[in-house]
Amino acid sequence: MMTIEQDIAQIVRQEQRLQFTQFDAETAWTIGSRLRQLAKERNLSIVIDIQVNEHQLFHVALPGVTPNNADWVRRKRNLVQHYHCSSYLMKLRLQHQKAGLEDKTGLNTRDLAAAGGCFPILLKGTGCIGTITVSGLPQREDHNLVVSVLAEYLQLPLPELALS
């Protein structure tokens, strides 16, 4: 089991490595479709959402999800758009500091959620241009699912990037 500090360092590595040279609607479709395929194979009830510059390029709600999952997507996405880092990284940093999101930042948790499952779309040389969000699983699993598909898409070895 990794410590919070090790998880934080590993997610920082994930964000450094899982970057794109280009990202468009076709990329979103490929990644979103792969996430959906894995969810169907594993019988997961999740929402998948991919946005670039606040423009939704992919969205699906699989059987078993509720409108609550869509709200979690919105709140996690808002956090990543605000901080340009993974929602799980923010969650772990706050946990490590023994602080809540509202206490530490003054931001309202009705609109932002520090919970795993939203990963920034990072364009090399540019920075954060969008988000890939999964909601419906425990937050670490939401995060790991996104990372596994990004590593596969970018042809990077998952064992070097995965959280244990």
Q: What is the pLDDT of residues 52-70, one digit of tens each?
A: 999 999 999 999 999 999 9
Mean pLDDT, range 121-144, rounded to an integer: 97
**Domains, the chain, ordered by start:** 18-154 (3.30.450.150)
CA distance 54 to 81: 9
Tokens coding 152: 């596969």
Compute CA 157 distance to the chain's CA centroid, rounded to the nearest angstrom: 18
What secondary structure letter does DSSP report for 52?
A: E
**pTM attached to this predicted model:** 0.95
Compute CA 147 distance to the chain's CA centroid, rounded to the nearest angstrom: 8
- pLDDT tens sequence across 132-143: 999 999 999 999
Mean pLDDT, range 14-35, rounded to an integer: 98
Using the structure block, give the residue that is written with the tokens 């923010």. 90
- 1 pLDDT more than 70: no
CA distance 161 to 148: 9
Tally of residues, the chain:
164
